[in-house]
């Protein structure tokens, strides 16, 4: 249910930088990464070691799935702090230890982030859209 709630929200159209200012990259062939779209918001933080696996866009909504070796707790801290640092207003946040869900808004853009465990890796799902879309 929380996952569905997170996907009903979206994230911004502005500037995006991670702590290091880098985009997600693949570390080896087994972790092959797909590219984020050129118009992906620069103000949506991306974990440094994340591998982007899925990017789906429909209209003004983009959904991104990425995998990381970071724990759920570490990814939750990164997204909570990163969104705030980049000017997002966190509207709701839930952390059960097994799952972290945050919804943030910046201007007319909404960003929903859900962090869960999937196998040995951590899955980060982001939904970015314009409010009212």
pLDDT digits (tens, 9 = 90+) for 55-86: 999 888 999 999 999 999 999 999 999 999 99
Whether 131 contacts 109, CB under 8 Å: yes
Break the chain into its structural domains and give their ranges. 2-130
Assess whether pLDDT exceeds 90 at residue 25.
Answer: no
In whole angstroms, what is the distance from residue 14 CA to residue 6 CA? Answer: 20
The confidence score (pLDDT) of residue 131 equals: 79
Assess whether pLDDT exceeds 80 at residue 40.
Answer: yes
- The architecture CATH gives domain 2-130: 2-Layer Sandwich (3.30)
Assess whether pLDDT exceeds 50 at residue 1.
Answer: no
Mean pLDDT, residues 13-18 = 35
Mean pLDDT, residues 7-22 = 38
Distance (Å) of CA 119 to CA 37, 44, 59, 71, 123: 27, 25, 31, 12, 9
């Amino acid at each position: 249910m929380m996952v569905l709630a997170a996907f009903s929200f979206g994230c911004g159209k502005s500037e995006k930088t991670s702590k290091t200012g880098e985009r997600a990259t693949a570390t080896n062939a087994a972790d092959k990464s797909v590219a984020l779209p050129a118009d992906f918001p620069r103000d949506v933080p991306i974990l440094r070691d994340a591998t982007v696996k899925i990017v789906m866009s429909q209209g003004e909504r983009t959904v991104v799935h990425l995998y990381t070796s970071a724990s759920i707790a570490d990814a939750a801290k990164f997204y909570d702090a990163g969104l705030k640092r980049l000017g997002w207003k966190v509207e709701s946040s839930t952390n059960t230890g097994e799952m972290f869900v945050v919804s943030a808004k910046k201007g007319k853009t909404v960003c929903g982030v859900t962090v869960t465990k999937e196998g040995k890796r951590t899955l980060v799902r982001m939904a970015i859209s314009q409010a009212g879309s």
